[in-house]
Structure 1
Amino acid sequence: MLFLRAYHYFLLTQYFGDVILMTAPLEDASEAFGLTRTPSEEVYQQIITDLEGAVTVLPLKSDYDAANIGRASKGAALALLGKVYLTQKNYPSARQTLEQILNMDYSLLADYAQVFEPTNKNHAESIFEVQYQGGNNLGEWSSFIYTFAPRDSEGAVVGFPTARPQGWNIPTNDMIAAYETGDIRKDVSLKEGYTNSAGTYIPIPYINKYNHPHTIVGRTDDNWPILRYADVLLMLAEAINEEVGPDQAYTHINQVRDRAGLSPLSGLTKESFRVAIAHERRVELAFENHRWFDLKRTLSSEQLVQQLTAHGARERANPTVTRGGVPFAASDYRFEGYEALFPIPDRQIFLSNKLTQNDGY
């Protein structure tokens, strides 16, 4: 429970900044209307306290029996704690925390595709993943590919002609171009189009990482990866580079690149290694919900605005998919610094006049 509370507060602070911090049940529901937002620095301290406690009491992943596989473990708590320290730019603590995981029973799988294969859940690279169960009526299935597959693709991607995929999170031209020549992760992670039932190729990219055969429409068996060993290796390489430079960090990033079929890195400056880590995290962890947090962690507000504005300009000039003659609106692809945090939902502010809105909204 300490691990889960820390994980959810980490997400909340990343998305909203200051949030209401609760560490004990309310005696009466009416007390909720008196709660105010806690500064994110204090929330982070509670996150660290919770994770330190979790590290102390959780077993190793290898100590769980078959009935408990998938539960949070000591390695999961250490990995999340290292991510929190990295977010705070506390590089020595991040390094010391993440290095402990190297001595646990984790390793990179030889085949990148097997990392996401439903028949291979909770494997040696998996540190923590959300457990889903398809092929039944128990209500624990996932439906990621139905969210990601292109609209109007029907069964061309998901395999069921009656399906109506939603077409969210289409990989952009920028994302497609980010993969180096020969990177085996590209074909696993995305496809640049599909062939419809009439035999026509439709050049609409889609996320392929969670696309696996299943027996009931809308009910896949894919788990969702939260923390895995490749993430730890790349976080550790980042922490080492920021602390002392890249010399001791190559072994970690090059393990990830070797598995991807790419040549090792060497001879980089601290600044160029920083760029290399950002690139490697983008393609290794593509579509696993890390990129936005990585950008916020590594870029200043001004740099974030500049990067997203430049991306928007490229997409407007050369859209990833056809817009059917619909022009861009003036507000499309416009990003302001305050949008690095989400707005507090209006409903919550209506319910409690103690809550304040984030700047800019």
Structure 2
Amino acid sequence: MKKILIPVFIFLFFCSCDKFLVENPRTSLSTSEFFKTESDFNLAVNGAYAALRGMYGSRSAWTMGEMRSDNTHYDYKPSDAALAITQRNDVANFMNDQFSAQTSDKWNTAYVTISRANAIIDQIAAAKFSDSSKNAIEGQAKFMRALSYFELVRFYGDVPLYLHVVNSTADVTKARTSKQEVYDQIIADARDASDKLRVPVFPQTGRATKGSALTLLADVYITLKRFADAEPLLKQVTQLNYQLMPNYADAFDPAKKINIESIFEIQYNASLAVPQASEFIYNFIPRMSNSTGITGLNQNTITDLGGFNTPTQDLISTYEAGDKRLDASIAIAEGSFNASNDFVPSVNTAGGAVKSIVGYTAPAGKVGRPFPRKYLHTHTQPRQTNDNWPVYRYAEVLLMLAECLNELNRSAEALPYLKQVRERAGLAASSETNQVALRAIILHERRVELAFENKRWLDLVRTGNAVSVMKAYGIAIKALYTYLPANSYNVDENSLLFPIPYAEMQLNPLLTQNKGY
């Protein structure tokens, strides 16, 4: 089977929800004119997959999912007040507003994905090819639509619900739909996708499978605290022949992508003639004029590129002694910061400045700046890496199942699933059966297992820990970094949602703003 190849062009008729032409375009096709053959539909599905990159692998994704939490921070450079950098820092500092492009990108790309999925769903019933192929196409489209709305409702709350192609300005101006109704639609789409999609076949192709849809549906139920509904779905996933990779680092190795642990990941490919590459690591290493000492290739990361998603000491300290995931997840860039607050590596030969974090002590005159190692892999061109972005891994399924069983007062049954994750990490199995204590253990396990996968902020919110944890973290980090403003980390219930983008509110007068913005 062929792996997904995402087309580099974007169809004009897959418009986002905020831009329309009154006059029918004479140089492009409508969806009804375009969608004829199975190949047409598969090409459109690939276009929807491409849009997912903006939701998961973009700067807004890890800014909102990790830097908003106690997992990561940023390198501060007082002389650089560029708007994009300031806005990104503001998200971490709980000072962001409705004008921020760093929090509007997720909204925009989610609706682009939804628009493309809707175009497929609207037309698939009339298609003239096999029901088997139609089910596979519709299942993928509904999975992506459900995934997109799940991102929107968790980050923004009530959002407009579009279930068909938007053909006029009248179709655009919708008020915000209640979270309950949005969740009902997500559940309906994910259920339908799980019925229509095929079971995973290994090696996988990168397309959504029955396992992807079941995992998404279970994740939705867990978010809604419907643990009894999630449990059988997760147990069904455990019967689909997924396994943990033998070594934690293997799960992220581009040479082993879409492996037996992968349930769904966002695809990138640096080997094509026109690369569809990722560049995560260049955002996560320090600001430096020459990145050779870390990536092996020369790239200036000083301007609006490096210095973000920096692992905090709070995260590093939470790893247990002997946890193999620490070294696989976080490395040290050794060097010094110059007078401009830019990083100068201690060794500038390929990878020479990269040190293991385990037992690390900076030598005299040097500093050790941590960065997410799980996205550092060999590549041939600067800013063109082959790393995929993980959305769901089998390790998370095991932790979700353990969480469900614990919440259903069957804590002893949860331990074997937790054990699998901990044993791979080189840690002893837990014997804790007190529900409250085990709940904290599982949340901690999620933190270290899924670090830098954009899960931490959402975990804090859904478990009711965001305000208390981030208030305490804010006090600690403000004592550590004197550059943080006095009004930073003013965390309250309004902070749990991000603002509706200002531009969207200007285009759609029926939209209302979230409290606090």
TM-score by length of 2: 0.65
Give CA-to-partner distance per residue, 1:287-339, whole Å, 9 cap, x none: 0011111111111xxx42221010111112234xxxxxx63311223222201
Work out the CA distance in 1 between the residues paired with 2:228 and 2:402. 12
1:122 aligns with 2:287: no
1:163-242 equivalences in 2 (<5 Å): 163-164=300-301, 165-195=305-335, 196-199=344-347, 201-242=366-407
1:254 paired residue among 416, 419, 444: 419
Work out the CA distance in 2 between the residues paired with 1:278 and 1:198. 37
2:142/2:189 contact within 8 Å kept: yes
2:211 paired residue among 38, 51, 75: 75
SS where residue 109 of structure 1 aligns? coil
SS where residue 170 of structure 1 aligns? strand
1:307 paired residue among 456, 465, 469: 469
1:6/1:48 contact within 8 Å kept: yes
| 2:442 equivalent in structure 1 | 277
| 1:335 equivalent in structure 2 | 491
Q: CA deviation at 1:100?
A: 0.4
Change beyond 3 A, Cα 1:356–1:197: closer
1:296/1:304 contact within 8 Å kept: yes
Work out the CA distance in 1 between the residues paired with 2:484 and 2:281. 27
Work out the CA distance in 2 between the residues paired with 1:264 and 1:332. 39
Change beyond 3 A, Cα 1:222–1:123: same
2:186 paired residue among 39, 47, 69: 47
1:25 aligns with 2:160: no
Q: Name the % identity.
A: 41
2:198/2:210 contact within 8 Å kept: yes
| 2:199 equivalent in structure 1 | 60
Q: CA deviation at 1:137?
A: 4.4
Letter in 2 for 1:172: T
Work out the CA distance in 2 between the residues paired with 1:32 and 1:357. 20
| 1:156 equivalent in structure 2 | 293
SS where residue 265 of structure 1 aligns? coil
1:240/1:246 contact within 8 Å kept: yes
1:163/1:218 contact within 8 Å kept: no
Q: List runs of 5+ in structure 2 lacking aligned partners.
A: 1-140, 336-343, 348-364
Change beyond 3 A, Cα 1:42–1:142: same
Change beyond 3 A, Cα 1:309–1:192: farther
Letter in 1 for 2:330: L
1:192/1:204 contact within 8 Å kept: yes
1:359 aligns with 2:507: no
2:236 paired residue among 100, 113, 122: 100
SS where residue 408 of structure 2 aligns? helix
Point out the more displaced range, 188-197 or 289-298.
Answer: 188-197
SS where residue 392 of structure 2 aligns? strand
| 1:85 equivalent in structure 2 | 221
Q: CA deviation at 1:2?
A: 0.5
Work out the CA distance in 2 between the residues paired with 1:100 and 1:136. 36
Point out the more displaced range, 153-162 or 260-269.
Answer: 153-162
SS where residue 445 of structure 2 aligns? helix
1:193/1:201 contact within 8 Å kept: no
1:157/1:194 contact within 8 Å kept: no
SS where residue 193 of structure 1 aligns? strand
Point out the more displaced range, 30-39 or 105-114.
Answer: 30-39
TM-score by length of 1: 0.93
| 2:504 equivalent in structure 1 | 348
1:55/1:78 contact within 8 Å kept: yes
Change beyond 3 A, Cα 1:162–1:327: closer
SS where residue 127 of structure 1 aligns? strand
1:245/1:269 contact within 8 Å kept: no
SS where residue 14 of structure 1 aligns? helix
Letter in 2 for 1:309: K
Work out the CA distance in 2 between the residues paired with 1:18 and 1:265. 39
2:294/2:333 contact within 8 Å kept: no
